[in-house]
Homo-oligomer: A and B are copies of this chain.
Amino acid sequence: MAHPAMYNITSDDTGAANTNDPKNSTVRKGRPRSTKSKNAILKATNSLLLHKSVQELSIEAIAKKAKVGKTTIYRWWPNKTAVVMDALINQPGMQTAMPTPKSNTEAVSMQLEKLIRLLQSKNGETIAQLFSEAQASEESQEIFEDSFLGPLMDAIEFSVTEGQKTGEFRKSLDSKTAVDILCGPIFFRLMAHPSDFNDHFQGDYPKEALKLISA
């Protein structure tokens, strides 16, 4: 992963390296990355996503809208998926914290509900499209996994294994399979029947899903 900024989620790439610590081994010479340009790019991307699908989006259009050179985009993100991923994550109200749960059952339930809520928003469509982009290229796959799917699944898997230890969930299930059983139907419905997604999944599914894995 040679890209300098690694398109990672929350870090403020800019300026961080140019601290006043003269011993910092990663002192950056030259003109620092422009926060203005970065923000313009992410903002333009989000704006374009309101009317276009990820697939319809072009780097060229983003650059034009953001009044930025194409090279500036390519310098910091390896491909479209990375830009969109970053734009998505940097939306306001994206990193809402969860209240600490009382049990692992409650934890999983809350996590599923959060996921469903996320996918029901306008962003749901975009995420489905990113998931799709990921099928086309190894590189996009990795980004989607690292930035979105991985953390999400890891958190759920953690709660599941914990719940298995406490006896809340049955141990016969492989924890990874359990996560597939919990999350699979959600993504599947999102992608296969997007119009039905909101209808039935609202409050019902998490409860139902928990039954599937509870002891």
Give chain A's interface residues, CB within 8 Å of chain B. 53-56, 128-129, 131-137, 145, 149, 153, 173-174, 176-177, 180-181, 183-189, 191-192, 196, 200, 204-205, 208-209, 212
11 contacts between A and B (CB under 8 A): A56-B136, A128-B135, A131-B135, A132-B136, A153-B192, A177-B208, A181-B208, A184-B189, A185-B185, A185-B188, A187-B187
Q: Assembly of this chain: how many copies?
A: 4
Cβ-defined partner of A181 (8 Å) among B174, B177, B185? B185
Flag if B173 contacts A180 (CB, 8 Å).
no
Q: How far is the CA of A163 from the CA of B145 in the complex (A)?
A: 37
A211: nearest residue on chain B (CB-CB)? B212
Q: Is the interface of A mostly helix, strand, loop or mixed?
A: helix
A131: nearest residue on chain B (CB-CB)? B191
Residues of B within 8 A of A145 (CB): 192
Beyond A174-B200, A188-B187, A192-B149, is A212–B132 a contact (Cβ under 8 Å)?
no
Cβ-defined partner of A53 (8 Å) among B136, B185, B200? B136
Residues of B within 8 A of A191 (CB): 131, 134-135, 187
A192: nearest residue on chain B (CB-CB)? B149
A56 to chain B, nearest CB (A): 7
Q: How far is the CA of A196 from the CA of B133 in the complex (A)?
A: 19
A186 to chain B, nearest CB (A): 7
Cβ-defined partner of A184 (8 Å) among B133, B174, B185? B185
Beyond A136-B129, A200-B174, A208-B173, is A189–B185 a contact (Cβ under 8 Å)?
no
Q: How far is the CA of A180 from the CA of B194 in the complex (A)?
A: 12
Most buried by B among A133, A191, A196: A191
